Structure 1
Amino acid sequence: MTVAEKMAVTENNMEDINPVLRISQMDAIELNKALEQLIWSQFNSCFQGFKPGILTRFEPEIKAFLWLFLWRYTVYSNNATVGQAILNIQYKNDLSQTKTYRPMNKQQKVWFALFTVGGKWLAERSYDLFSNHPLGSSFQKTRSLINACAGLLKVSELLNFLIFLQQGKFATLTERLLRIRSTFIKPQNVRHVGFEYMNREILWHGFAEFLIFLLPLINTHKLKLKLFSWCKPIQGLRHNDPSLAVHCKECCLCGEWPTMPHTIGCSHVFCYYCIKSNSMSDAYFTCPKCSSHVHSLQPLEFKVEISEVHTL
């Protein structure tokens, strides 16, 4: 046995041992869709300075030309789409009974373009071609027939996908009809799993779940008020002075002039809505200035000079 024959036998064995994974075939399809969207967005951005809607009338034809250009330099030249080339995959002619690699023939490539490019163009143009036509009812029947065929095609694609999930071959209906199969360009090496990365992901995932469980138990509003009381304490006031409320010209919670001023039994003043909402949301609410508990919510009346209001 020659060296070439040994290499051919090795490649055939590798093909049998390492079939193309289903996820790899699906990833290639998604990469192709992302590439088409990227090309169309880049092409559409070239006409941003023109009159709006200039490409709308000929959009299906322009897309068909772009996809045909893309097919010419991918499937027709290299027997693989862009997504397959990225994942080390290419199409194999599955009509041949031999296990050796057989590229797609010219007929399969042409039919591939008709099914993919022509099918997308017909799907986008079918409504315009058979709507509002002068001949009337006959074209309406034709459009209804096309819609029925499109529905049948969708059902066939669904059945093909279910069969693909079971067998792992022919990810699309076009591949099944043309008998082209995805194979690896080169034999795949054994994939080594990095347990260090997995351990790090598990650790961070557990830490995130712990934070999700812990954060709702922390009264962040009370903690913020406590920090605020440390940063801005009121000095020079005595707790037992009944006239101290007159000297407090701002709410201890919002920092604004107190609206409907109330006290909770200490020498500090609060807006009614501020103290009421906080005391209702937190049964253990304390004053952010002196840490006094809410003994009783009482309105406060005091006179303020107009000159004092303007100086605030």
Structure 2
Amino acid sequence: MIHLYLSVFKFFPAGMEAEDNRKKTDAPPDVDPQTPVLRISQLDALELDTSLEQLLWTQFSQCFQNCRPGLLTPLEPELKALLQLLLWRFTLYSNSATVGQSLLSLRYHNVLSTSPRYRPLTRRQKLGLALLTAGPRWLQERSHSLLLCLGSNSGASDGDRGVLQKSLRNCLIFVSGITQLAGLLNFLVFLGKGRHPVLAERIVGARAVFSKPNVTRDITYQYMNRELLWHGFAEFLIFLLPLINTRKLKTILSSIVFGGESAAGNGAAEGSGVWKECGLCGEWPTMPHTVGCQHVFCYYCIKSHSIADVSLTCPKCGAEAGPPEPVKMEVEMMGR
């Protein structure tokens, strides 16, 4: 029995060593940190991280859509910062890579290390990166409330309190301007050298490198180009559609297809009877007005359309619209 126990205890270390050797053999070799990473890949990783943060906030806010309106507004900056810290805890803190970097097979490398091989970020670097990312956003959204609190708790008079708040606001604006200028200069340096697209990465000494050799993008360029194309096309339509006068276009097409003379004749025949509907809204005309043809319109309908469109034409017959003039309508009395 003793020999059996000894053989079992001897087997486990051997099995564990074999398992460790197998994992080491199957593990991918380290990638040279000096291998340059494409600038577009680093920018795509930042865009993916931003989209993920917006998606998380949207899903979180929808959980309270049936509650009292404005429930999350007083604590919105703190909640956004908390979501960013939670996302940092389970992504960057765990494997030295954000979600966007993981999708593009990237990770952070410790530039401050003197070793030529890959070195992950230290805990202090990860914490500094989180604070430099979430802290300025929270401070920018909370700056007004903080200035009011500092001014009210200063114990000074109203005049001195106003001067103090103004001085603090000017200092905050100055610091914000310096930060934005530093970020712009850092981005220009990034475009030239291809490293550190964000100022926080340069401060803490973090740089994006490949996580495995012979890397292929999980999100291909074809997908990104297609998304950019559709996004630009949607923005173009949003800009173009309000400029198109669909009513006038419909009138022109109907006059081309059916002919303007027949439409005018039908309008005259219709106008000889009792006018029962507005040519624009289709309802019984309120304060009926005419624009020179045989059709009648509500005053507010024709007035708003004439203000919006200087070269207004009648939507029924296509005649050029003149100034709106009131008309007298015949009322049919239906006897029982």
Fold-level match, TM-score > 0.5? Answer: yes
Q: Distance in 1 between matches of 2:177 and 2:252?
A: 60
Who is 1:168 aligned against? Answer: 194
Q: Deviations over 1:62-105 (max 9, x none)?
A: 11111111110011001111111111111110112333111001
The one of 79, 101, 118 equivalent to 1:84 is 101
**Identity fraction in percent:** 40
**Post-superposition offset of 1:133:** 2.2
Q: Deviations over 1:222-267 (max 9, x none)?
A: 99767658xxxxxxxxxxxxxxxxxxxx951367332799xxxxxx
The secondary structure found in structure 1 opposite 2:181 is helix
**Post-superposition offset of 1:40:** 0.8
AA aligned opposite 2:47: E
2:274 pairs with 1:257? no
Q: Distance in 2 between matches of 1:225 and 1:141?
A: 67
Q: Distance in 1 between matches of 2:221 and 2:43?
A: 22
Q: Give the TM-score of the pair, scaled to structure 1.
A: 0.60
Say whether the 8 Å CA contact 2:29–2:212 is kept in structure 1: no
Say whether the 8 Å CA contact 2:88–2:130 is kept in structure 1: yes
2:207 pairs with 1:181? yes
Q: Deviations over 1:136-193 (max 9, x none)?
A: 2445423322221111001000000000000000000000101100011112358999
Equivalent residues in 2 for 1:17-166, closer than 5 Å: 17=35, 19-131=36-148, 132-135=151-154, 136=161, 137-166=163-192
Say whether the 8 Å CA contact 1:133–1:139 is kept in structure 2: no
Q: Distance in 2 between matches of 1:184 and 1:76?
A: 18
Q: Distance in 1 between matches of 2:173 and 2:268?
A: 69
Who is 1:215 aligned against? Answer: none
Say whether the 8 Å CA contact 1:79–1:103 is kept in structure 2: yes
Q: Distance in 2 between matches of 1:52 and 1:276?
A: 50
Say whether the 8 Å CA contact 1:28–1:83 is kept in structure 2: yes
The secondary structure found in structure 1 opposite 2:266 is coil
Q: Distance in 2 between matches of 1:255 and 1:90?
A: 75
Q: Distance in 2 between matches of 1:222 and 1:113?
A: 60
Runs of 4+ in 1 over 4 A off after TM superposition: 189-194, 220-229, 270-277
Q: Distance in 2 between matches of 1:161 and 1:187?
A: 27
Who is 2:5 aligned against? Answer: none
CA change 1:47–1:178 in 2 (3 A) is same
The secondary structure found in structure 1 opposite 2:267 is coil
Equivalent residues in 2 for 1:230-309, closer than 5 Å: 252-253=262-263, 256-258=266-268, 274=317
CA change 1:259–1:97 in 2 (3 A) is farther
Say whether the 8 Å CA contact 1:29–1:83 is kept in structure 2: yes
Who is 2:237 aligned against? Answer: none
**Post-superposition offset of 1:221:** 8.9
Q: Is the radius of gyration larger for structure 1 or structure 2?
A: 1
Say whether the 8 Å CA contact 1:8–1:100 is kept in structure 2: no
AA aligned opposite 1:167: K
Say whether the 8 Å CA contact 2:196–2:202 is kept in structure 1: yes
AA aligned opposite 1:141: S
Q: Distance in 1 between matches of 2:173 and 2:252?
A: 63
**Post-superposition offset of 1:32:** 1.1
Aligned length in residues = 224
Structure 1 unaligned segments of length 5 or more: list them.
195-200, 202-219, 230-249, 262-269, 278-312
Q: Distance in 2 between matches of 1:142 and 1:105?
A: 35
AA aligned opposite 1:43: F
The secondary structure found in structure 1 opposite 2:78 is helix
